[in-house]
Amino acid sequence: MTGERQGQHVLTPKIVFISDGDSREFPFRLQRK
């Protein structure tokens, strides 16, 4: 995670961070439950 919240504990309710090596823009993609 980068930006102003870098290094802080960020709560992401109902969102799962999935590692995706094929992604070009982001090292992960968001999946909502």
The ranges assigned to domains in the chain are 1-33
∠ CA 8-4-20, rounded to 5°: 75
CA dihedral 24, 32, 4, 26 (to 10 degrees): 0
Please report, rounded to a whole number, the percentage of residues in the chain having pLDDT higher than 90.
0
Q: From CA 6, how far away is CA 21, in angstroms rounded?
A: 21
Mean pLDDT score, 13-33: 61
Q: Which two three-digit tokens encode residue 5?
A: 């919240």
Q: How confident is the model at residue 23 (pLDDT cuts 50, 70, 90)?
A: low
Q: From CA 20, how far away is CA 12, in angstroms rounded?
A: 18
